[in-house]
Amino acid sequence: MQTDRSQRWRERRALWARDLTLIDPGAYSVDVIDHADARAFIAQHHYLPRYPAAQLAVGLFARKGALEGVAVFAVPTTGAVISRHTGFDDPRRGCVLARLILTDAVPQNGESFFVARAFRHLRRERPGIEAVVTYSDPGAGHIGRVYCALSAAHRAVTKPRSVLRVGNITISGRTLSKIRLGEQGHAGAIDQLVSLGVPRPRIGEEPRSWLWRLQRERHLVTHQQAGLFAYCFELTREARRRGPTLPRLPYPKALPPRNALLPLIWPDQETLHG
């Protein structure tokens, strides 16, 4: 479905800004918030409820102090994400906007108002970060209109790939890798899957064998993940200087054909937001 209204989320359900009234800047404030508050908000409202490896969380507050939006800047799972889309060899000079969510109480244009001010806090709190990479998920109805409105560089469309899902929830590759390799934290990763309703490993069953059994018994099911739209915000003069050497694609105008999409829910995707 295409609409000129802004997609929002509440209680993990897709909603829309309630009317065509534009945001009143005097009615909202933006500030850094504790990760605990951001984590709780994301878990309650976002279609990706798992909290990323956050560096900074910023909140959007209504006039009476109610938290109505959260932006989470995070470390990507690989530094190549930063190098590929920013041109910086040192991945510490970039980060990812891993979660962006506003509730349906926020009027139109709320995203651009919020993101622009969140970037100011990011530069103040983390001055070494000069560029921000983010992705939009067409499977969730996003093509990155707010990023286009803020003049982000459209860098790429990622390749589709196969993922494993429990019901309508996709399990991150990092979670599966921890279990397969028996790495530190694999017990917690197993608990994460069990909390989604899959059976626990049998006594003496190796974690790798357990995962294979879950696939054989169709507790874990393979699905194709649609490609994502990749964007980059160049926040400093140096970042903008490097920009012309990197791809800058035309902004997408519409979602890909419906038969190319899958309505996925990805709780641990490194770069996705809503």
Q: What is the mean pLDDT of residues 4-20?
A: 55
Query: What pLDDT band is residue 243 in, cutting at 50, 70 and 90?
Result: very high
Mean pLDDT of the chain: 85
CA 82 – CA 133 distance, rounded (Å): 7
**Count of structural domains within the chain:** 2
What confidence score (pLDDT) does residue 107 get? 85
Do 144 and 133 have their domain in common?
A: yes
Are 110 and 232 in a shared domain?
A: yes
Which residue range forms the structural domain that includes residue 69? 7-159+226-245
85 and 200, same domain (yes or no): no
Backbone φ and ψ of 185, nearest 5°:
95, 0
Same-domain pairing of 49 and 124: yes
Same domain, residue pair 219 and 232: no
The values of phi and psi at residue 28, to 5°, are -135, 150
**Average pLDDT of 164-177?**
82
Q: Do 13 and 101 belong to one domain?
A: yes
Pairing of strands 153-157, 229-234: antiparallel
* Domain shared by 216 and 233, yes or no: no
Residue 137 lies in a domain: yes
Q: What is the mean pLDDT of residues 153-178?
A: 85
Same domain, 219 and 230: no
- 83 and 210 part of one domain: no
Q: Is the pLDDT of residue 18 over 60?
A: no
User: What's the whole-model pTM score?
Assistant: 0.75
Structural domain includes residue 254? no
Q: Given this model, what pLDDT does residue 137 score?
A: 82
* 132 and 182 share one domain: no
Distance (Å, rounded) from C-alpha 270 to C-alpha 82? 12
150, 109: one domain: yes
What distances in angstroms separate CA 195 from CA 2, 166, 169, 191, 200, one per listed residue? Answer: 35, 10, 12, 6, 10
Q: Which residues contact 220 (CB under 8 A, 6 or more apart)?
A: 164, 165, 166, 171, 198, 211, 214
Question: Cα separation of 172 and 266, whole Å?
Answer: 7
Domain of 20, CATH number, reads 3.40.630.30
Q: How confident is the model at residue 268 (pLDDT cuts 50, 70, 90)?
A: very low
Print burial letters for 207-224: b (CB count within 10 Å at least 16), e (below 16).
Answer: beebbebbeeeebbeeee
Instruction: Return the pLDDT at 260.
Output: 47
Identity of the highest mean pLDDT range in 47-51, 183-187, 213-217: 213-217
